[in-house]
Amino acid sequence: MNDCVFCRIARGELPCLRVWEDERAMAFMDAADDVDGHILVIPREHAESLLDCGEETAARVIRAVRTVARHLVQACGYEGVNVLNASGAAAGQSVGHLHFHIVPRRAGDGIDAWPVFTGAREEKEAVWRRVRMAD
């Protein structure tokens, strides 16, 4: 996808503050500047979301997420991380290129990175019958 903003970043056509990279994935500071240390991890090849990427792409991106997250905790003084992904417009995906957000955390930082759920609307067993995978 020539016009995809993350593809353009991966090709070096748009600037970014790179945190980590290898030949298949990269991590860079989120341009939103909304939380200190907010990092995005993307595959270099275009994939719309986690739902349609290949197995190897998914594995490489998750390894990259783990590498960066461990670095933040082991070398940068953070105590944990939130890892967030939205796959599909209904889930809130705003850029049509697979990406994971890493939000580094410290105890008492005041960041509320977990969504507030208002409660289930259906009976749990009915939903379970619909979503369970065959044995």
Give the pLDDT score at 18.
98
Residue 118 has pLDDT above 80, yes or no: yes
CATH class name, domain 5-107: alpha beta
Is 38 in the active site?
A: no
| C-alpha angle 33-34-36 in degrees, rounded to nearest 5 | 75
Residue 100: partners with Cβ closer than 8 Å, 6 or more residues away = 40, 41, 42, 61, 65, 83, 84, 85
Q: How many CA atoms lie within 13 A of 90 on its CB side?
A: 1
Query: Interior CA angle at 92 toward 64 and 62, to 5°?
Result: 15
What percent of the chain clears pLDDT 90, i.e. is strictly above it? 92
Q: Give the per-residue pLDDT at 115.
A: 86
Q: How far apart are CA 69 and CA 88, in angstroms?
A: 24
Instruction: Indicate if the pLDDT at residue 1 is higher than 90.
Output: no
Give the mean pLDDT of the chain.
95
Query: How does pLDDT run across 42-58, given as a tens digit for each residue?
Result: 999 999 999 999 999 99
Mean pLDDT, range 26-40, rounded to an integer: 96
Separation between Cα atoms, residue 84 and residue 6, nearest integer Å? 17
**Which is the catalytic residue, given 38, 97, 99, 101?**
99
CB 46 within 8 A of CB 7: yes
- Which two three-digit tokens encode residue 5? 């903003």
Domain limits, the chain: 5-107
Indicate if the pLDDT at residue 11 is higher than 90. Answer: yes
